């Protein structure tokens, strides 16, 4: 899989321009504020529809503009596609997705060009709130099993409807209408997440050993739901338990104004010796565990789909020391497209003969130099 070119219009501080990339390692260089992270963010938003810098894409629009457009030529599955994404900040917020000039569904679009990024924000996967870990897990499961997207969407829709009924002080009979399908959707989401967690845990152990051969950290990964919702008997039993739980907690939920139990409250638990990792790891170890989580999802998706995916590492000097960066590049191999941003010219040396060097200044690309052996 390869990003061949990317056209950017009004995204962050990037002027309107087209970027072309090498098929191997691409070094994105420039001073702080030059636009390096903005360019990498544009790649991630292009492929994943989400930013690693903000939860609101309104902040990604260039100052004094009300929309941005990303267009790209990508190679995936032995075919070349033209992706287009237009985001407009009016009321309401709108996003248009096209593949080869034809309007595409979110599900199809997200399957075409997944981008894996390692950034400073990744430490929140380890020490931050459960939301980021749930998002990581859901994306991982979706890339392995696309039907997970429909289960999640259905669950969130039914959850909103039950919550609205609670706030509106609807009758028990009216609320029960939403609870039975909500319980079934919750069970489907949990079953997929638990299966994904088991697979992710195995890959995480492998990647951790490779990234930190001299500093082995035994981190356990498990899906954490309500204790009462983990019976033997499979998804049908979980569905029955949630239906009973929603009935039992209806009065409590009315008082709170929202549904207090379900997959929207669950977590991907990371522990060392039974203790939460945030209380055990150093800053450097936290970064390596976060990188291992990202790379573990990458390794399994590549194994399942038999294809190499692009990887982005933002501000490599700050996130990884020299030894860790060398191990990372070695592990990722030379048969994938890699994007490394840095303020240091030495990173350009990692590109090799099939890569390229892109220098940015004030959001604009300066004349490109192909990386050679000279």
Res 211 pLDDT > 80: no
Q: What is the pLDDT of residue 325?
A: 65
* More confident of the two residues 277 and 326: 277
Segment among 47-56, 130-139, 308-317 with least mean pLDDT = 308-317
Res 285 pLDDT > 80: yes
For position 332, which CATH number holds?
Answer: 3.40.50.300
Res 66 pLDDT > 60: yes
Contact 189, 151 (CB under 8 A): yes
Q: Is residue 84 part of a domain?
A: yes
Q: Is residue 358 part of a domain?
A: yes
Q: What share of the chain is helix, strand, coil (3-state, %, to 5)?
A: 50, 20, 30
Q: Is residue 95 part of a domain?
A: yes
**Domain extent at residue 82:** 1-115+309-374
**Does residue 34 sit in helix, strand or coil?**
coil
Q: Is residue 230 part of a domain?
A: no
Report, as an integer, the average pLDDT of 191-202: 94
Q: What is the pLDDT of residue 351?
A: 67
Q: Is residue 287 part of a domain?
A: no
Burial (0-12, 13-18, 19+ Cβ within 10 Å), 257: exposed
Q: What are 8-64's pLDDT values in tens digits? A: 999 999 989 999 998 888 989 999 889 999 999 999 999 999 999 888 888 888 888
Q: Is residue 255 part of a domain?
A: no
DSSP 72-122: EEEEETTEEEEEEEEEE-SSS-EEEEEETTEE--HHHHHHH---EEE-GGG
Number of domains in the chain: 1
Separation CA 317–CA 359 (nearest Å): 16
Report, as an integer, the average pLDDT of 338-359: 79
Q: Which two tokens stand for residue 319?
A: 């996130």
Separation CA 89–CA 96 (nearest Å): 12
Segment among 56-65, 103-112, 135-144, 328-337 with least mean pLDDT = 328-337
**Does residue 156 sit in helix, strand or coil?**
helix
Report, as an integer, the average pLDDT of 308-334: 72
**Does residue 313 sit in helix, strand or coil?**
strand
Res 134 pLDDT > 90: yes
Q: What is the pLDDT of residue 372?
A: 42
Confidence of residue 373 (pLDDT cuts 50, 70, 90): very low
Separation CA 224–CA 215 (nearest Å): 27
Percent of the chain scoring above 90 in pLDDT: 57
User: Between the CA of residue 107 and those of 57, 68, 302, 308, what are the distances in Å?
Assistant: 19, 21, 19, 20
Res 295 pLDDT > 50: yes
Res 370 pLDDT > 50: no
DSSP 214-276: TS----EEEEE--GGG--SSHHHHHHHHHHHHHHHTHHHHHHHTS--SSGGG-EEEEEETTEE
Res 301 pLDDT > 90: yes
Question: pTM score, two decimals?
Answer: 0.86
* More confident of the two residues 75 and 327: 75
Q: Is residue 371 part of a domain?
A: yes
Report, as an integer, the average pLDDT of 218-235: 83
* More confident of the two residues 220 and 354: 220
Q: What is the pLDDT of residue 213?
A: 64
Burial (0-12, 13-18, 19+ Cβ within 10 Å), 337: buried
Q: What are 76-99's pLDDT values in tens digits? A: 888 999 999 999 988 888 999 999
Q: Is residue 293 part of a domain?
A: no
For 67-81, letters b (16+ CB in 10 Å) and e give: bbbbbbebebeeeee
Helices (H), 145-230: 147-167, 172-211
Segment among 79-83, 162-166, 269-273, 364-368 with least mean pLDDT = 364-368
Could you tell me if residue 234 is left (phi over 0), alpha (psi between -120 and 50 degrees) or otherwise beta? Answer: left
Report, as an integer, the average pLDDT of 296-314: 91
Report, as an integer, the average pLDDT of 95-110: 94
Q: What is the pLDDT of residue 96?
A: 95
């Amino acid at each position: 899989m390869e990003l061949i070119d990317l056209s950017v219009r009004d995204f962050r501080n990037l002027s309107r321009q087209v970027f072309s990339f090498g098929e191997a390692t691409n070094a994105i260089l420039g001073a702080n504020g030059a636009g390096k992270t903005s360019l990498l963010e544009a790649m991630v938003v292009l492929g994943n529809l989400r930013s690693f810098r903000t939860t609101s894409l309104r902040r990604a629009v260039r100052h004094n503009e009300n929309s941005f457009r990303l267009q790209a030529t990508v190679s995936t599955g032995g075919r070349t596609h033209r992706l287009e994404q237009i985001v407009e900040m009016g009321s309401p917020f709108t996003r248009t997705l096209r593949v080869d000039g034809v309007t595409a569904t979110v599900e199809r679009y997200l399957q075409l060009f997944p981008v894996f990024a390692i950034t400073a924000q990744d430490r929140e996967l380890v020490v931050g709130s459960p939301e980021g870990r749930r998002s990581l897990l859901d994306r991982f499961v979706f890339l392995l099993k696309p039907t997970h997207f429909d289960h999640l969407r259905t669950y969130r829709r039914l959850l909103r409807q039950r919550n609205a009924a609670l706030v509106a002080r609807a009758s028990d009979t009216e609320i029960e209408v939403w609870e039975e399908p909500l319980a079934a959707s919750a069970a489907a989401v949990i079953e997929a997440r638990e299966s994904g967690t088991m697979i992710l845990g195995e890959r995480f152990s492998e990647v951790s050993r490779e990234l930190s051969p001299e500093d082995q950290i035994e981190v356990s990964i498990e899906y954490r739901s309500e204790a009462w919702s983990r019976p033997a008997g499979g998804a049908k039993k979980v569905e029955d338990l949630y239906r009973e739980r929603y009935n039992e907690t209806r009065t409590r939920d009315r008082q709170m104004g929202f549904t207090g139990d379900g997959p929207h409250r669950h977590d991907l638990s990371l522990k060392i010796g039974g203790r939460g990792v945030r209380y055990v790891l150093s800053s450097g170890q936290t970064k390596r565990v976060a990188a291992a989580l990202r790379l573990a999802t990458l390794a399994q998706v590549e194994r399942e789909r038999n294809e190499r995916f692009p990887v982005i590492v933002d501000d490599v000097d700050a996130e990884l020391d020299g030894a860790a960066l060398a191990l990372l590049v070695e592990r990722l191999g030379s048969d994938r497209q890699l994007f490394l941003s840095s303020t240091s010219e030495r990173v350009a040396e990692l590109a090799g003969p099939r890569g390229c060097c892109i220098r940015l200044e004030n959001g604009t690309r300066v004349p490109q130099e192909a990386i050679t052996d000279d």
